[in-house]
A and B are shown apart, each in its own frame.
Chain A
Amino acid sequence: EVKLEESGGGLVQPGMSVKLSCATSGFIFSDYWMEWVRQAPGKGLEWVAEIRNKANNYATYYGKSVKGRFTISRDDSKSIVYLQVNSIRSEDTGIYYCTSGRDSYAHVDWFAYWGQGTLVTVSS
């Protein structure tokens, strides 16, 4: 059974930092690109970041609204993907989901697996 479990959310003051984690199991993590997607309260989905796998040199990509403030990383030995959020703003409030990207062999496409999300609330 595939599982993705996010953690690390909570109440964060503007300007501060938070690190989100997504622990996974049930699939060969090291083969997959991994994504973070967020959803502001009552709004649609917004793609945040992608990290590719070792075969793709762990390349990273970001949405415009987070570039320079967010950093995606991964630990293949632990099957965990992270999202470091710096200089957090009120508009970063929302549920942060981790989701799977494509796998190395192009057998599985993006967004096949999702976690339950972790809520980040930015407020003083």
Chain B
Amino acid sequence: DVVMTQTPPSLSVAIGQSVSISCKSSQSLVHSDGKTYLNWLLQNPGQSPKRLIYQVSNLGSGVPDRFSGTGSEKDFTLKISRVEAEDLGVYHCVQATHVPHTFGAGTKLELK
């Protein structure tokens, strides 16, 4: 199975600050169709997850452009520019290139 290593496990930030979260996979996430199915999700406290980013860098529907995703092959990063209060929660990376699909352990974003 593909292991997703997500760091850091937690982040303490001030509103307006920018932060980055890393996700590294144990295998390349490039699918045989040429696409890379790496997603980023946000789970606000007590809520279901919401998809932020798909295929490494594409913004999900209604997701503000202060979120951005970069990376390739096995190394991916989510950047949040100008953190807002609604961004607090747990961020998850998840790969859908390989079955079984696998999640990172999550990064908890908290207010400083």
Q: Which residues of A contact B (CB under 8 A)?
A: 35, 37, 44-47, 50, 61-64, 97, 99, 101-102, 106, 109-112, 114-117
> Is B19 part of the binding interface, using a Cβ–Cβ cutoff of 8 Å?
no
Which of B39, B60, B61, B100 touches A63 (beta carbons < 8 Å)? B100
> Is B99 part of the binding interface, using a Cβ–Cβ cutoff of 8 Å?
yes
Q: Which residues of B contact A (CB under 8 A)?
A: 1, 33, 37, 39, 41, 43, 48-51, 54-55, 58, 60-61, 90, 92, 94, 96, 99-106
* B52 to chain A: closest residue by CB: A111
Contact check, B37 vs A110: say whether CB atoms are below 8 A apart.
Answer: yes
Q: A44-B104, A63-B100, A64-B100 are in contact. Are A111 and B94 (CB under 8 A)?
A: yes
Query: Cα distance A124–B48 when bound, in Å?
Result: 28
Query: Cα distance A109–B101 when bound, in Å?
Result: 13
> A115: which B residues are within 8 A, CB to CB?
48
Query: Cα distance A101–B99 when bound, in Å?
Result: 12
Contact check, B104 vs A97: say whether CB atoms are below 8 A apart.
Answer: no
> B41: which A residues are within 8 A, CB to CB?
45, 111
Contact check, A44 vs B106: say whether CB atoms are below 8 A apart.
Answer: yes
B36 to chain A, nearest CB (A): 11
Most buried by B among A37, A61, A64, A111: A111
> A47: which B residues are within 8 A, CB to CB?
94, 100-103
Contact check, A116 vs B48: say whether CB atoms are below 8 A apart.
Answer: yes
* B61 to chain A: closest residue by CB: A112
A22 to chain B, nearest CB (A): 12
Which of B1, B96, B99 touches A111 (beta carbons < 8 Å)? B96
Q: A44-B105, A45-B94 are in contact. Are A111 and B100 (CB under 8 A)?
A: no
* B106 to chain A: closest residue by CB: A44
